[in-house]
Structure 1
Amino acid sequence: MTHTVCIPSSLVREAEDKREATRKVGYVARAATIFNADRVVVFPDRTGERRWGEGFVVTVLRYAATPPHLRQEAWDVRDELEYAGVLPPLRVASQTGSAPDGSESLTQGIVTEVGPEGRVRVTCGLQHPISLHAPDGMEPSEGERVTVRISSREPVRARLVDEPQPGYVVERTDLTEVLGRRDAGVRIATSRHGQPLTVPWLGDLTRDVEADGMTVAFGAPGRGLPDILGIDVDDVGAAAGTAAGAGGKDSPGPGGVEPVADPGFDLWLNTIPRQGSEVVRTEEALFASLACLTLTE
Structure 2
Amino acid sequence: MVADTSDLRMVTIKVGMVGRALAIFRVERVCIYDDEDPNVEDQEEQARTIELLLSYLETPQYLRKILFPRSRKLRYAGLLFPLRTPHHPLQNERNKKGDYREGVVIDSGERSILEIGLPKKGIFDGKLPLKQRLTVRLGDSDGDFIRVEPVSRREISEYWGFKILRAPSLSEGLKAVKSDYYIGTSRRGQNLYEAVQAIKSSEPRRVAVAFGGPYAGLFEICWRQGVDASEMFDVIVNAVPNQGTATVRTEEALLATLSLLNALIEG
Q: What TM-score do you get using the length of structure 1 for normalisation? A: 0.74
Q: Matched residues in 1 for 2:204 and 2:36: separation?
A: 35
The 8 Å contact of residues 222 and 279 in structure 1, kept in 2 or not, is answered as no
Mean Cα deviation higher: 12-21 or 160-169: 160-169
Q: Matched residues in 1 for 2:144 and 2:106: separation?
A: 21
Secondary structure of the 1:40 match is: strand
Q: Matched residues in 2 for 1:170 and 1:213: separation?
A: 16
Secondary structure of the 2:252 match is: helix
Q: Matched residues in 2 for 1:270 and 1:127: separation?
A: 49
Q: Matched residues in 2 for 1:30 and 1:229: separation?
A: 28
Question: After superposition, what is the alpha-carbon deviation per residue over 1:214-262, rounded to whole angstroms, capped at 9, x for unaligned?
Answer: 111111223222233336xxxxxxxxxxxxxxxxxxxxxxxxxxx7354
Does residue 41 of the first structure (1) align with residue 31 of the second (2)?
yes
| 1:181 to partner: Cα distance | 5.8
Residue 251 of structure 2 corresponds to 283
Does residue 144 of the first structure (1) align with residue 132 of the second (2)?
yes
The 8 Å contact of residues 120 and 131 in structure 1, kept in 2 or not, is answered as yes
Matches within 5 A, 1:179-194: 179-180=174-175, 183-194=178-189
Residue 170 of structure 2 corresponds to 175
Question: After superposition, what is the alpha-carbon deviation per residue over 1:140-173, rounded to whole angstroms, capped at 9, x for unaligned?
Answer: 4211111233356797534123121820010101
Give the total of aligned pairs: 250
Residue 260 of structure 1 corresponds to 227
Q: 1:161 aligns with which of 144, 147, 150?
A: 150
Amino acid at match of 2:54: L
| 1:50 to partner: Cα distance | 4.8
Matches within 5 A, 1:108-257: 108-116=102-110, 119-127=111-119, 129-133=121-125, 140-150=128-138, 156-164=145-153, 166-173=160-167, 174-180=169-175, 183-198=178-193, 201-206=195-200, 208=202, 211-230=204-223
| 1:128 to partner: Cα distance | 5.1
Q: Matched residues in 1 for 2:19 and 2:176: separation?
A: 23
Percent identity (aligned): 31
Residue 64 of structure 2 corresponds to 71
Residue 85 of structure 2 corresponds to 92
Question: After superposition, what is the alpha-carbon deviation per residue over 1:44-71, rounded to whole angstroms, capped at 9, x for unaligned?
Answer: 1342435761111111111111111000
| 1:180 to partner: Cα distance | 3.6
Q: Matched residues in 2 for 1:86 and 1:225: separation?
A: 30
Residue 234 of structure 1 corresponds to none
Q: Matched residues in 2 for 1:182 and 1:106: separation?
A: 25
Question: After superposition, what is the alpha-carbon deviation per residue over 1:158-214, rounded to whole angstroms, capped at 9, x for unaligned?
Answer: 41231218200101013222434693221111110111112x542441453x53311
Q: Matched residues in 2 for 1:53 and 1:201: separation?
A: 33
Residue 101 of structure 2 corresponds to 107
The 8 Å contact of residues 61 and 88 in structure 2, kept in 1 or not, is answered as no
| 1:133 to partner: Cα distance | 2.7
Does residue 271 of the first structure (1) align with residue 239 of the second (2)?
yes
Distance 1:127 1:182, change over 3 A: closer
Q: Which runs of 5+ in 1 are unaligned?
A: 1-10, 232-258
The 8 Å contact of residues 45 and 228 in structure 1, kept in 2 or not, is answered as yes
Distance 1:143 1:49, change over 3 A: farther
Amino acid at match of 2:14: K
Residue 296 of structure 1 corresponds to 266
Q: Which runs of 5+ in 2 are unaligned?
A: 155-159
Secondary structure of the 1:292 match is: helix
